[in-house]
Chain A
């Protein structure tokens, strides 16, 4: 099975900061990766699919890149509503697997 890791596991940032989260796969997954945002008590929300495609309705400050084994989610200018936990998910083969998550909180 393919394992996913994320770094960092948590970070503290200020409004307006540029934030980058990295996700790594234990083997190549082409571009079969999505990024999700989850706020406490709510269901996850997909931000990015196919590694770099922005989900409809998601602000353009979110972007994704990468292919193969290394991927990044970038928030170009952090907004108050962006404080949340972020997960990557590979769906290249079964079983799909989520990364352990990156919690973004206020500095």
Chain B
């Protein structure tokens, strides 16, 4: 069965960096785009970024452009989200999700990122 597992979350000080990983199994990883979506505590869903199946195309939300970088290693069935210059407003649960028919279909359980001094 399709499975996505996020890791790497934690507490980090403002201005510092953190790297999330999204490990996938149960499908041909190299055939699917992967999204990251986040949700601040008590708030709605916010789309963050997406990477194409081959890693050649990437798109970002304006709120993270220039600070976050998405990448993937198809040999390891893993997508990464490198987050730099973190701000308190980046505090959220971060979900990775496999794209099907253009939108996130299968989701991981999430990784919590807290930006606080």
Query: A residues engaging B (CB < 8 A)?
Result: 1, 32, 34, 36, 38, 43-46, 49-50, 53, 55, 87, 89, 91, 94-101
**How many cross-chain pairs have Cβ atoms below 8 Å apart between A and B?**
58
Contacts A36-B45, A43-B95, A101-B45 hold; do A96 and B110 have CB atoms under 8 A apart?
no
Contacts A36-B45, A44-B45 hold; do A95 and B61 have CB atoms under 8 A apart?
yes
B28 within 8 A of A: no
44-72 of chain B: CB within 8 A of chain A: 44-47, 50, 59-62
Residue among A38, A43, A45, A50 facing the most chain B CB atoms (10 A cut-off): A43
Interface of B is mostly: strand
| Cβ B47 vs Cβ A96 within 8 A | yes
Q: Name B59's closest neighbour in chain A (CB-CB).
A: A94
B interface size (C-beta, 8 A): 21
Tell me the minimal C-beta distance from B56 to chain A in angstroms.
15
Further 11 A-B residue pairs, CB within 8 A, beyond A43-B95, A98-B45: A34-B103, A38-B45, A44-B45, A49-B102, A89-B104, A95-B47, A95-B60, A96-B47, A98-B46, A98-B47, A100-B44
Tell me the minimal C-beta distance from A30 to chain B in angstroms.
11
Residues of A within 8 A of B102 (CB): 32, 49-50, 91
